[in-house]
A and B are shown apart, each in its own frame.
Chain A
Amino acid sequence: MKYMLMMNAPGGGPYRIAEWPQQDIEAHMAFMRRFGTELADGGELVAAEGLAGPDQAKLVRAGRNGVPVTDGIFPEAKEFLAGYWIVDVDSPARAYAIAARASAAPGPGGAPLNLPIEVRQVMSGPPEELT
């Protein structure tokens, strides 16, 4: 079964990574790289992406005749999606365990960030036989 693990970062919270000391940034990035490699080596990783910061993000709607209408920059305080992993695992418990590992990624001073990781099942389960 496949799960998407979404790492949400509060806009004004501890994930303002650009303001961390270099050593902490490096430790965080090393953790993330190692984490991705471990998932791949374990045969569980389907996909993973980190997303660019919210200051360049746009909200897009279709205007008249389907022309894109973009809406500006998000307020500082808004929570945003920092990145996601899609994993293929044998049980929900395993997906939660992986999410907890991601949540404990090191932040300032090497302390675990404990960011909330939203875990959502991908709609790829088998249907029941209908009678």
Chain B
Amino acid sequence: MTVTSLDNRAEHLLRELAPQVLGALIRRFRDFAASEDAVQEALLAAAVQWPRDGVPDNPRAWLIQIASRRRTDHLRSELARRRRESVAALEVDLEVAPVAGGDDGSDPDDTLILLFMCCHSALTPSSAIALTLRAVGGLTTAEIASAFLVPESTMAQRISRAKQGIRTSGVPFRLPTDQERVERLASVLHVLYLIFNEGYTSTAGPDLQRNELSRLAIRLTRAVHQQLPDDGEAAGLLALMLLTDARRAARTGSHGELIPLTKQDRTLWDQQDIAEGVALISATLSRGSVGAYQLQAAVAAVHDEAPRAEDTDWPQILALYGLLERMSDNPMVTLNRAIAAAMVHGPAAGLELLHALADDTRLRGHHRLDAVRAHLLELAGDYAGAIAHYRRAAGRTTNIPERDYLLTQAARLGEIAD
């Protein structure tokens, strides 16, 4: 039996509760990997029993109790095996207090603490992503494997190694101190950003699943924002996700082909997401201390607020990319600024900015530089130059719909030029 036999509401509830239950278990038993196994067993038990017996009155306490029992059972059998060894440490762990009605040992901060653990910089990004989806997002290993198009056994190993990584790095189960917080929070937000992007931009895997990854990233980022309402970057990232995800339905055509922002059917954009994202980023920016996610969200808001592509407030976007460039020293930002400069001051101004990037080793061989140059050359009327750069970009991208888009652009210009 799997979780899919539950109704949507119960399944949603289980995903919501999974990190809180795990938090309570780690608080009590300390061992991350063993606690996680026990929580998975409890979730499975819920998937079997709830459809039959109904959802219990206090589902969180129910799950914590079942998971604690499983963990205790495992400890008992471990104990029996090692009877002759010193067991003092284990005996302490076995004294599990019975779960009382209101106080079930979980804490509202638990989801956040778990995120800080799973997104620790000691893990590689792919490990952190997998572990976060499993331990905090409540996805099964099979679901994560299928989202990333790798075999389930490979994903299981990746998750198990990530847990080992946490064990060996000795990260304690507590919120980071004030000194640690900025750096640790940056890791958390980065992992959530990667999960969102995987769901939003990746063209691998079924649509439904990718949509779910993005929604999950939004849900977790929302949880971080609720726990840390004064953090501008957490609010900025949430706004950026909402304002980007709002365009999902318009972003690809019926055959999965990419549609650029300027050609999208804007009536397909999700106005509710846009309204929430705009309100959030406006409130955050007015408080000062601006960060990179906030500026990217502000750019997305300017795009989303234009009823037609030609209504886009490009001078404002140019100014925002100027700020972002000063903050981040990222050549990708300069590429975006070049497009904005071309829209405000004409293509020559944009091409001028690209010249400055010619010697940047971080962009060497990257298709994006060629793609932007092709676009600007086309605006300038240099079709032969544009075709050459569209083709070069097509040869360098690692994404099939993007390659198709770039080749189509080159072919379209070729026919105009003939």
Tell me if chain B binds chain A: yes
A: residues with CB less than 8 A from B are 1, 40-47, 88, 90, 121-131
Most chain B beta-carbon contacts within 10 A, residue among A42, A47, A128:
A128
Known: A1-B398, A121-B398. A129 touches B201 (CB 8 A): yes
Chain B residues closer than 8 Å to A128, beta-carbon distance: 201, 368, 371, 402
State how many angstroms separate the Cβ of A68 from the closest Cβ of chain B. Answer: 27
Asked if B125 is an interface residue, CB under 8 A from chain A, the answer is yes
Most chain A beta-carbon contacts within 10 A, residue among B124, B150, B261:
B150
Known: A40-B153, A43-B161, A125-B398. A131 touches B258 (CB 8 A): no
Chain B residues closer than 8 Å to A131, beta-carbon distance: 260-262, 336, 339
Chain B residues closer than 8 Å to A44, beta-carbon distance: 154, 158
Which residue of B is nearest A121, CB measured? B398
Bound-complex Cα distance A42 to B161 (A): 7
Bound-complex Cα distance A46 to B154 (A): 7
State how many angstroms separate the Cβ of B242 from the closest Cβ of chain A. Answer: 15
Asked if B157 is an interface residue, CB under 8 A from chain A, the answer is yes
Known: A123-B399, A125-B399, A129-B201. A43 touches B371 (CB 8 A): no
Asked if B202 is an interface residue, CB under 8 A from chain A, the answer is yes
Bound-complex Cα distance A10 to B296 (A): 52
Bound-complex Cα distance A123 to B399 (A): 5
Within 8 A of A (CB), among B131-190: 148-151, 153-161
Which residue of A is nearest B401, CB measured? A127
Enumerate the 9 nearest inter-chain pairs by beta-carbon distance, A residue then B residue, closest first: A43-B158, A125-B398, A126-B201, A127-B402, A130-B260, A43-B157, A127-B399, A123-B400, A90-B124
Chain B residues closer than 8 Å to A127, beta-carbon distance: 201, 203, 258, 397, 399, 401-402
Q: Interface majority SS on B: helix, strand, loop or mixed? A: helix
Contact of A126 among B151, B155, B197, B403 (CB under 8 A): B197
Asked if B357 is an interface residue, CB under 8 A from chain A, the answer is no
Bound-complex Cα distance A128 to B244 (A): 13
Asked if B204 is an interface residue, CB under 8 A from chain A, the answer is yes
Bound-complex Cα distance A42 to B371 (A): 36
Contact of A88 among B126, B198, B371 (CB under 8 A): B126
Chain B residues closer than 8 Å to A121, beta-carbon distance: 398
Asked if B405 is an interface residue, CB under 8 A from chain A, the answer is yes
Q: Interface majority SS on A: helix, strand, loop or mixed? A: loop
Bound-complex Cα distance A44 to B137 (A): 22
Do the beta carbons of A125 and B397 come within 8 Å of each other?
yes
C-beta contact mask, B348-389 vs A, less than 8 Å → 1, else 0? 000000000000000000001001000000000000000000
Do the beta carbons of A130 and B198 come within 8 Å of each other?
no
Q: List 21 A-B contacts (CB under 8 A).
A: A40-B153, A41-B157, A43-B154, A43-B161, A44-B154, A44-B158, A45-B151, A46-B149, A90-B124, A122-B398, A124-B398, A126-B197, A126-B198, A126-B201, A127-B201, A127-B258, A127-B399, A127-B402, A128-B402, A129-B201, A129-B244
Chain B residues closer than 8 Å to A42, beta-carbon distance: 157, 161
Do the beta carbons of B150 and A123 come within 8 Å of each other?
no
Bound-complex Cα distance A123 to B404 (A): 12
Chain A residues closer than 8 Å to B399, beta-carbon distance: 123-127
Chain A residues closer than 8 Å to B149, beta-carbon distance: 46, 124
Do the beta carbons of A90 and B126 come within 8 Å of each other?
yes
C-beta contact mask, B46-72 vs A, less than 8 Å → 1, else 0? 000000000000000000000000000
Most chain B beta-carbon contacts within 10 A, residue among A1, A121, A127, A129:
A127
Contact of B204 among A43, A124, A129 (CB under 8 A): A124
Which residue of B is nearest A123, CB measured? B400
Known: A46-B151, A88-B150, A131-B339. A123 touches B157 (CB 8 A): no
Contact of B157 among A40, A124, A129 (CB under 8 A): A40
Known: A127-B203, A130-B405. A88 touches B148 (CB 8 A): yes
Chain A residues closer than 8 Å to B148, beta-carbon distance: 88
State how many angstroms separate the Cβ of B177 from the closest Cβ of chain A. Answer: 29
Contact of A40 among B154, B203, B204 (CB under 8 A): B154
Bound-complex Cα distance A1 to B154 (A): 14
Chain A residues closer than 8 Å to B155, beta-carbon distance: 43
Which residue of A is nearest B366, CB measured? A128
State how many angstroms separate the Cβ of A84 from the closest Cβ of chain B. Answer: 15
Bound-complex Cα distance A1 to B124 (A): 13
Do the beta carbons of B154 and A130 come within 8 Å of each other?
no
Chain B residues closer than 8 Å to A40, beta-carbon distance: 153-154, 157
State how many angstroms separate the Cβ of A72 from the closest Cβ of chain B. Answer: 34
Most chain B beta-carbon contacts within 10 A, residue among A41, A125, A131:
A131
State how many angstroms separate the Cβ of A32 from the closest Cβ of chain B. Answer: 18
Known: A126-B399, A127-B397. A45 touches B154 (CB 8 A): yes
Which residue of A is nearest B303, CB measured? A131
Known: A125-B397, A126-B197, A127-B201. A90 touches B125 (CB 8 A): yes
